[in-house]
Every structure is written in structure tokens, then in C-alpha cells.
Amino acid sequence: MKSTEGVSQRTIARLPCSFSFHIICLLSFFAIGVPGNFAEAQNALVLVGSGSSVPAPLYNRWAQEYGKRNPNITLRYLPTGTSEGIKAMSHAAGDFAAGEVKFTEEERKGSGLVELPVVLIGIVPIYNLPDVHQEIRLSGEVLADIFLGDVKTWNAAPIAKLNPGTDLPNLPIQVINRPAGKGSNYVFTDFLSKVSPKFRAQVGVTPSPKWPVGEPAERSSDMADKVKSRPGAPGYVEYQ
């Protein structure tokens, strides 16, 4: 399984259209300052958060390190998905949520929640071509066509044109994507919509895309496992 190499600090709109890119997005931290939401017992404080699976390792590490300094405060984070995290906060079920999807103006006015950017993340394409030892280049437009199902094999003309001299296999492309409500979908479709008018018209920018092809993977780790075990599969995960 291969991923892109090199780090870009540029915004999504300025990303180069090749396979050597990182899709960068601000990860938002949604909080509601209601002390009554905190679970307290014998001077102990438990903060419960939920949302995107992308920052889960970071929140767990933060909780571990902060717990060493103040054992009376415990942080628990549940990777339920961006949309589920926002829904939980809207019903006051928890103390904070994290996700990649920005609030709409209506949500900002009507929810009573506060939105803060706290983490930069990178969503990167990955693929599994076991017999190809050099990095494959893909433009953003070709990548969009792959996830639309318009490019069906790894030796198709649009991919071959970007990789002259590379012995590309006549291997079916077996797309792996994420199900509805995932923040990584929002980041990925935002990029693809910027580089491909066709993708923008057919799918658009959304955490819940109606993918025309592909098999879903519930979590980021599931995505990585499916791509790793399936020759010819492309997918997308956070860069970590």
C-alpha cells in the first residue's frame, strides 16, 4: 500500500494536481460551555467528546499527558463520526465534539455551539499496486474520475498519459470510500470538487456523498486494511 510523499502547507485551493499532494483542512473543535454537562464525582471531572475518528489518537494522547498533571480530570473521546458528533452536541449529549465540516450560518445561530479550529490534518490518497515499484502520478481530475467510476483500470489512457514509461497493470480499479457522515469525505470531496467540475456537479462537497462506485469502509483503519488487502484498490485516509 502506498501513499503520497512530501508535505504541503498550502490550502486546498492551491494544491498541485498530482499524486504528490496532501489535502489540508482545518479540523474544527465544537464546544458548549455548560458546566452541567460535566460528570463530577468526588472532585473528579470527566469530559466526554465525540466525532471524527481522524483526531482520536491526538485527543487520546492529550488526555494521557494531561492526566499525568491532573489525575482528577479525565478526557474520553468517542470516534463516532463527524455528523454524529455534531448531532450529539446539538442534543447536549457530551461536552465537546470534533469534525472537519464547518457550521452553516443557521447552525451557528441556532445551535448555541461554539466552533474553534484546533488541528491541521492531511487527507491523502492511497493505493495498492503490488507489482508497480515506482510512485504513480495522478492529477486531481483523474483522481476525481476514478472515484466517479469513469476510469476503470490502472492502465487506462488518462493514467498512462501521466506515467510515461511505467508498466501499468491491466488491473481493475476497486474503489474504497467512506460511508455517510464522515469528515474525511468532506475534505476529500471539497478538493475533488475544486479540481473537477464534473465531480462537483455529480457529487459535490459533502460529508455524505452518494458515491457512484465503490465499497465503504466504516473507519479510517478499515479503509487502510481494505486497501492493503485488495490489489488494485485506491482509497483515502488521514496522513499519520
Check whether 234 has a pLDDT greater than 50.
yes
Tens digits of residue pLDDT in 17-75: 223 333 334 444 444 444 444 444 456 889 999 988 888 888 999 999 999 999 898 98
Residues in the chain: 240
Look up residue 122 and give its three cell numbers.
Answer: 492531511
Contact 217, 226 (CB under 8 A): yes
pLDDT at 139 over 70: yes
Closest to 125 (Cα-Cα) out of 169, 183, 188: 188
Q: Does the domain made of 2-24+122-238 have the CATH classification 3.40.190.10?
A: yes
Q: Return the CA Rg of the chain.
A: 20
Is CATH 3.40.190.10 correct for 27-120? yes
Rounded mean pLDDT, 66-87 = 88
**Highest mean pLDDT pick, 9-13, 51-55, 103-107, 233-237:** 233-237
Phi and psi torsions of 39, nearest 5°: -90, 115
Mean pLDDT across the chain: 82
- pLDDT confidence of residue 31: 45
Q: Do domains 2-24+122-238 and 27-120 have the same CATH topology?
A: yes
Mean pLDDT of all residues in 208-231 = 94
Q: Domain residue spans in the chain? A: 2-24+122-238, 27-120
Mean pLDDT of the region 215-240: 93
Position 5 confidence tier, pLDDT thresholds 50, 70, 90: very low
2 or 195, which is more confident?
195
CB 152 within 8 A of CB 142: no
Whether 99 has a pLDDT exceeding 50, the answer reads yes
Whether the pLDDT of residue 190 is over 90: the answer is yes
What does DSSP say about strands 215-216 and 176-177: parallel, antiparallel, or unpaired?
parallel
Question: What pLDDT is attached to residue 11?
Answer: 23
Lowest mean pLDDT among 18-32, 88-102, 106-120: 18-32
